[in-house]
Amino acid sequence: MTSKLDQLRQMTTVVADTGDLDAIRQWQPRDATTNPSLLLKAVSSDAYRSLVEQALAWAREQDRSASPDPVLAGDCLAVLAGEQILESVPGMVSTEVDARLSFDRDATIARARELTQLYRQRGVDTDRVMIKIAATWEGIQAARVLEREGIACNLTLLFSFTQAMACADAGATLISPFVGRILDWHLAQAGLDAIEPGEDPGVRSVQRIYDYYKAHNYRTIVMGASFRNQGEIEHLAGCDRLTISPQLLESLSQDTGTLERRLDPGNASQTETYPPLDERGFRWHLNEDAMATDKLADGIRRFAADQRQLEKNLGDWIQAA
């Protein structure tokens, strides 16, 4: 019998939501995406000791110092991890800009260029690399500039239709709506333990964005992310891409039921039309969405905390060397 994972791959590009190279090799996704949280988990494992040592050595070369900046070491580690991931996937890898730059357009642009240059130094085809940026107003405007330079951008921590509209207007290559974190917020607000996948607000958010993009011929790719259960994935079957954890990939691979296609560009019917958002309009509409405001801020804080911990760990390695 054909598994639901195999059926899903017939209608959606499956992306691995992990920095674990062994898991990527096992599940053989087309693309992979990482973030500071995933890198932190990876470097906490002895299996990645050699990769960390290689990153520190490379950072010393870049910094021409025996004690390189842990921020630079973190970027070198992210690029080395991305390079290794690209050896195991046929498509693309996303590498994230420091979340602490989420409200600084120019600093985000500069860091994205630096990451791209580090990939070039390693001889990596940067057409296979996406730079991952938080979908703040500043991040979206940074993506507008980078896309014109040929640097593909993945706008992450996306929780609202307002963010999705602005990303499409900026010409972003891809957006990552966070399905599970939207659900988390609504469950907490309602005091519930679960919501049926068909009524899941995270699922409905992605369905609305997908229909809007397809009906209006936006080229921006919709990639659902941050899933809490298999049902959310099944109700988004047919979405452009879905980034899925190894645990849920395993669940899908063991399920031999029939998977129905839920999203199809040919069935997109979206009568909503909106003028392009300026900064004032973007900030106002985002402010009116309590869930999106809360979860965007929380996501940035979490990624920033993991980035700081990653850099602390790298700093300890530098001092111990």
**Which residue numbers are catalytic?**
132
Residue 252 burial by CB count (10 A; 0-12/13-18/19+): exposed, middle or buried? buried
Distance CA 116, CA 282 (A): 29
Closest of 223, 227, 259 to residue 242, by C-alpha: 223
Residue 2 burial by CB count (10 A; 0-12/13-18/19+): exposed, middle or buried? exposed
The letter for the amino acid at 264 is D
Residue 107 burial by CB count (10 A; 0-12/13-18/19+): exposed, middle or buried? middle
Distance CA 245, CA 23 (A): 9
The letter for the amino acid at 295 is K
With b for 16 or more beta-carbon neighbours within 10 A and e for fewer, the 211-248 pattern comes to: bbbbbeebebbbbbbbbbebbbbbbbbbbbbbbbbbeb
Three-class secondary structure assignment of 146-173: HHHCCCCEEEEEECCHHHHHHHHHHCCC
Helix (H, G, I), strand (E, B) or coil at 129: strand
Listed in sequence order, the residues at least 6 apart from 294 whose beta carbon sits closer than 8 Å to its beta carbon are 185
Segments of 92-240 assigned E as strands: 93-96, 129-134, 153-158, 174-177, 221-224
DSSP string across 22-86: HHHHHH--SEEE--HHHHHHHHTSGGGHHHHHHHHHHHHHHHTSSS--HHHHHHHHHHHHHHHHH
